[in-house]
Structure formats: C-alpha cells, structure tokens
Amino acid sequence: MNLSRLIIQFGIPGTTLLFLFFELILPLFLRHRPRGQVRRRVAKAYVFLLTFMFLSTYSEVVSEPIRYQIPGVFGEGMFFQIDPVNFPLLMLTGVLWLLIGSFSREDIHYLFYTLVYLATIGTLLAGDLLTFFLFFEIMTFASYALMVYHRGEEQLEAGAVYIYMGIIGGLLVLAGLLLLVAYTGQLQWDAVGEAVREMKWINYLIAFFLLTGFSVKAALMPFHFWMPRVYPEAPFAVIALSSGLLIKVGIYGMIQLFSVSALLPSLFFQRVGFILLWLGLISMSFGALAALMQSQMKRLLAYSSISQIGYIVTGLGLGFYLGSEGVLGFAGSFFHLLNHSLYKVLWILVAATIYFSTKETNMYKLGNLYRTMPLTFFFGLIAFMGITGMPGFNGYASKTVLYQGLAEASETGHASLAYAGLLFKAASAGTVAYAAKFLYHVFLKSFSVSLKEKPAYPQWMNFSMAMLSLFILWIGLFPHQLMTWVVIPASHHLPFDPSITDIKITGMNFWQWKNLSSSLLTYSTGLLLLFAGLRFHLFQKNLPRWASAEKFLYRPMITACDRFATYCVQKYEAPIIFGDALIYAILLFCVMFILIVRSLLGLSM
C-alpha cells in the first residue's frame, strides 16, 4: 500500500476523530480561555491538514483514481474514491473554507461550520449513491444549523425556506436512487451505467428525479426561488459557502450522472442534454435580468448566482447533448464552476466588508466609498473583471470555452441552437450591467448617507480578499496551466474521445482577436444597457407576477407539506413532538462519529 492510500485510508479518518476529540472534549478543560477561539483554531488546523492530505495524492490521482471502502456499513459497505473530477473540488473546498473562515471569525459557529465541510467532502468522495445521499443530507441539515445559529426571527424564517427546499431536493434524489436500486440492484456510480443499459422509459423517470433534485440544490430555474428568499437574511459567511461551494454539489451530482452516460442510449442523453442546455440558457438570462432589478446587495448576489449556475449547466447540457464529442461543453462548464467559486466568494466578501463598515445593504443608500475604502474598491474591481469575463481575468477563459462549444453545436446540432449563442451574449452583457451597477451605486456614485468617516474594520478581512484576487489574476493570465493540471485530466476521466479532447482543448488559443473583440463588444453592450437603465429608471421596476416560480411551485408544495405535517402531528405525534432541525443536525453528527470509528476499526483489522 503506497503513501497516498495510507494517507486517505488512515490519515483522514484519524484526523477527523482527533478533531472530534478536540472539539468536544478539550474546551471543557480550557475554562480560562475563550472556547470560540479554541474551536476556531482547531477547525482551521483540521481543514488545513485534510486539504494538504488531498493535495499529496495528486500524482497518483491523475493516473488512476484512488478507491477505498468501509466494509460492513449498510450491508454492502460505504465506497469512496478520489479521481480527477472531484480532486480539484476537494482542494477548492479546503481553500475556500479556510479563507471564508478567516474572514468571518466571529460570525459563524465553528462546530457546524466544520461539520458542513466534512459533509461536503464526504459527498464529493462518495463512490456510491447511498453514501452520496447520506452526506448530501447531512450537508443540508448542517448548513441549516449554521444559518439559524443566531436564532433571530428573520434567520429562522429564511432557514425554514432553505430546509424545506433542501428536504424536497433530497427526497427527489432519494426517489431516483430507490428506482435505480429497484431496477438494477446496483449502488456504485460505475456499475449504474452498465446496469441500466437496457432500461427504457424508466431511464427518463430516474433522470427526472435525480436531475430535479440536483437542480433544486443548485438553484437552477425554475427551482431558483429559495435563493433570493434565503440570502437576504443569511450571514455573509453562509452566503459565501452557499454560492462558492454548496450549490456546486448539485452540479457535481449531474457530472456524476454524465460519467456513466457513455454506457447509456445516446438518444436518451441527447434529450436530457438538450433540456439542460436550454434550462441553463434561460437561467443565466433570467438571473441577469432579475439582478439588474435589485436594490439590496444580498438579493443581487442571489440572482447573480442563479445566472452563473446557468452558464455551468449550459456547458454541462452541451456535453450531454454531444456525447463523446462534447468535451468543449464539459471543459467550459467545469472551468467556469471553479472560476465562479473564486470571483463570487470575493464579491461576497467585498459586500460583507461594506456592510461591516456601513451597516447598510441597500445600494441606493451608498456611494462614493472608493474614497474611504480604496482597497475594498480594488478587490471589488477584480471581482467585477472576473465575473464579467474581462481578458486577463479568470472568467474570460471559461466563458471563451463555453461560447466556442455553443458555436460548434449550432453548426451540427438542432436548429434552435443557432439562437443559443445570441442568448449567451445577451446574458453576458446583462452580467456586465448588473456588476457595473453594483460598483457604480456602492463606490462611484457621489452620494452617501451611510459612511462619513474612514471605516475601521479588522485587517484580516483583507487577507482573504487578497488571496482570492491573486487566484483570479493567476488563472486569468495563465489559463493553460489550470487547463493542463485540472480540466484536461478531468475530461480524460469522463467518457470523451481522447483524440477529440487533445485537438479541441490542448493548446487552445484564448487570445485570438475574435475572442477578444467579442469580449469588448459584450462590455460595450452591457455598459450601454446600464446607462440606459439609469437614465430611464428601468431598474426600479418589478418582475411580473407570472414570472414568479415561487407562486406556482414553492407555495403549493409548502402548503401541501404543512397540511400533511400538521395532520400527522395532531393525530399521532402531539404528545411527543419536540422537533428542531438543530437536534437532527446533532444526531447526524453522532452518526458521522460512529461511522468514522467504524472505518478506523475496519481498516485496522
């Protein structure tokens, strides 16, 4: 057994058990020191050690995935693996957890914060559907506990929406999982594709349940409405975790389905991919339009994430649609997933710094902050360049790959794809407009009622924003390095034709005048849209009622769930009911503790 496997099989469970000991036992003996400070240091050390352990496996993972099993759990055992697809996500998770945690030192509960991290990496490492679902649900309830930790009325209301949608998404995934097991008897991702080769109509039903459940988690239209309801009341640290990482778990579930698509009927996945592609295009366009209408920073950030998820799903749907030749779609989607996590978290931290200094989230009540907060303005400008795709910043590279994939598909695919490129450009112009709107109202507009003096905020906040800015600039200036180290190995791991991958991705020229001029045209259109909107007050209008998915989906589902739950409680559980999702989160924490101990005992035998 080589060093990498020893680290994964013994180092990760052992480090996790040690963390649980320090988290639960050590603070009891440190009565003369602040427990929060101890928890913060222990959590940061734990995340750093696990991230370093994952990093040490890179040389082996790119050549062959590392697979391991905890035997005896749930009968068949729990399967885990590290491969070229989840490896960069594991690294991204560790880096962002450390940076967000360092930025928001006093705003989070580190036990739940670390539990969400543990559940997230467990979901990414899952080698079978049951393990994936277990950690998927732990992540949902642990993040809910983190969100409502302060237990304010607004936080509890937002948490109720979040947990409702999380449960609905989890139940849909569970329905798809149960159908797969019933019809195939298989649980491992690798075995599912071969097992369902001959299944016919049931393929579509399974795909509907799984993809809808993942779409709810990812806030893809028309299941996006929970995000703008939850974000305004959630702490900035939770918003950063959600946009940067948690919603990406739903995307990762879609990628896992794609990893077995080569074994399934091509017509089936062409249809699924076509639907995903258009849902992504609609989501990116609607999200950009809705973001332009917002006055509150947190709601603008929410709709921005909905729009950016649309870019990622568009590329993934393109990969599904083109099958073994859809490498440009997947590469652009995966590249943009990583890029979005960096510039979006930076943007959220900029907004958090502004709120920390002004106690104001209404952009229309801010302005002229570039004078008193020049460094924050600089970081906000970098986030703006990243999200809008300015050449030399990371968003430009991934959007270029996505657009080339759409252009290629429009020549050989369905006739409607001829309009996909135009919709992509329109959404990109909208992105420029709403991101520029944020900069104008917060930093450049010559009016402010919220801040009269230079703010005094902790300097550690600048460290996290500076590190994210460096990542954005490095990827933007040297996109081929991330392509070579991360995107190409991930593409080779999935069912794409290797020769097509090498031709289309390796050595891609990002700096062609056609790509640069397209970016400049997008900027000009977006800034013109912003000017027109400000001049004619177009951004202060509300969306029509018929455009509200909440009215047609969320409220009917919640009403039905409330009535059913009330009936059950009144008839059967009234004498004993004391339910609180926080209690459930603690129970899940205990279950995880038992699984870790079981894994160590099983591996030592």
pLDDT band of residue 151 (cuts 50, 70, 90) is low
Q: What is the CA radius of gyration of the chain?
A: 23
Q: What is the pLDDT of residues 285-317, one digit of tens each?
A: 999 998 998 889 999 999 999 999 999 999 988
Domain parsing of the chain, residue ranges: 338-542, 544-574
State how far the Cα of 384 lies from the Cα of 472, in Å rounded to an integer: 11
State how far the Cα of 554 lies from the Cα of 169, in Å rounded to an integer: 12
Looking at per-residue pLDDT, the higher value among 124 and 556 belongs to 124
Phi-psi region of 453 (alpha: psi -120 to 50; beta: other; left: phi over 0): beta
Share of the chain above pLDDT 90, in %: 17
pLDDT band of residue 430 (cuts 50, 70, 90) is very high
State how far the Cα of 351 lies from the Cα of 143, in Å rounded to an integer: 21
pLDDT band of residue 549 (cuts 50, 70, 90) is low
Looking at per-residue pLDDT, the higher value among 589 and 17 belongs to 17
Q: What is the mean pLDDT of the segment spanning 13-26?
A: 73
pLDDT band of residue 384 (cuts 50, 70, 90) is very high
Residue 578 contacts residue 325 (beta carbons within 8 Å): no
Q: What is the mean pLDDT of the chain?
A: 78
Q: What is the mean pLDDT of the segment spanning 552-574?
A: 50
Determine which of 172-181, 230-239, 263-272 has the lowest per-residue pLDDT on average.
Answer: 263-272
pLDDT band of residue 454 (cuts 50, 70, 90) is low
Residue 226 has a pLDDT of 82
Determine which of 173-187, 298-312, 432-446, 587-601 has the lowest per-residue pLDDT on average.
Answer: 587-601
Q: How many CA atoms are closer than 13 Å to the CA of 346, on its beta-carbon side?
A: 31
Q: What sign does the dihedral 216-352-460-369 (CA atoms) show?
A: positive
CA angle centred on 251, ends 518 and 160, rounded to 5°: 115
Q: What is the pLDDT of residues 61-113, one digit of tens each?
A: 888 888 877 766 666 667 888 888 889 999 999 999 989 888 876 566 777 78
State how far the Cα of 91 lies from the Cα of 89, in Å rounded to an integer: 5
